[in-house]
Structure 1
Amino acid sequence: MVCNAEQHVGDKQLMSTFTSNYSNSAARTILTLGFIYVSGQIPYTHENKPLPGNPTIAEQAEQVIQNVKNILEASNSSLQHIVKANIFLTDMDTQFAEFNGVYGKYFSEHKPARSCVAVKQLPLGVALEMEVVAVDKDANKL
């Protein structure tokens, strides 16, 4: 992850934009005024490769949540600091319960606001995508 741009007012950083090599059309993460906006994460490994074989929705969910976790930790946040999650599935009827089982392992006590939406198709033919908004661990110091 590379910090491509920072905007400051006085000594207060207003926004940082982080990108990765998997998309040139969107920032992976934007930090602004104590909030961390993470673009949709798909079940690709940190080497920017799809999961091998024919992964289950549970395996894909594990990878997506791990991707989100890694980004948040690099941005001075964590899964427990997520305030909103948007989940996109390509087949709500067959995927929701399996996805929700994995999601519940990570969000059993801390439950962010969440939307789960069925979509016709996702980029690169993946079955799920997750985007989140989190707060910086030090947001109360802003």
Structure 2
Amino acid sequence: MTDTKYNSDKAPEPVGLYPHARRVGNLLFLSGVGPRERGTKKIPGVELDANGNIESYDIAKQCHSVFKNVRLILEASGSSWGELVDVTVFLTNMKADFKIYNEIYAEYFAENQPCRTTVEICSLPTPIGIELKCIATIK
């Protein structure tokens, strides 16, 4: 059985000791992916105060960025957007963000429709409003 770890040189660096993705057999498991930009702590759509607390954020910009990062990791691993079979979405503000996120999600997944779970959590390890955990197939 194949067991290979992958890291993208285009997606944001992991914030801990883990790979972007790991292949086991014909499945590719992505670690949690957020909207950060590679090589910086910048988060599209997020304004932080001097203490690093979120002052304001734009969930639409974060959604577009996180979907872009997932695509970069899939492609670097030898898979693709169309091979996604399961997506778990973590939102820090379901009440305010779900409607916008759900509309943007529908744009990205109009063709491929993986299983999806969306949960609200109180916080994420970095000051972001969305993170995705994905499983894809790989040949």
Is TM more than 0.5 here?
yes
Match of 1:62 among 61, 64, 67: 64
2:131 alignment counterpart = 129
CA distance in 2, matches of 1:34, 1:48: 33
TM-score, structure 1 normalization: 0.80
Higher fraction of strand: 1
Task: Report deviation, 1:82.
Answer: 0.3
Deviations 1:30-89 (A, max 9, x none): 011011100111110122432255341010010100000000011111111000000000
Contact 2:7 / 2:76 at 8 angstroms: preserved in 1?
no
What SS does the corresponding residue of 2:31 show, helix, strand or coil? Answer: strand
1:26 alignment counterpart = 18
Task: Report deviation, 1:22.
Answer: 3.0
Match of 2:37 among 45, 65, 71: 45
Task: Report deviation, 1:25.
Answer: 2.8
- 1:100-139 counterparts in 2 under 5 A? 100-136=102-138, 138=139
CA distance in 2, matches of 1:28, 1:47: 15
The structure whose RCO (Cα within 8 Å, separation 6+) is larger is: 2
CA distance in 2, matches of 1:28, 1:48: 17
TM-score, structure 2 normalization: 0.82
Out of 109-118 and 14-23, give the one that drifted further: 14-23
Match of 1:82 among 77, 81, 84: 84
Contact 2:43 / 2:128 at 8 angstroms: preserved in 1?
no
Contact 2:63 / 2:104 at 8 angstroms: preserved in 1?
yes
Amino acid at match of 2:26: G
1:16 alignment counterpart = 4
Amino acid at match of 1:39: S
Q: Which has the larger radius of gyration?
A: 1
How many residues are paired up? 125
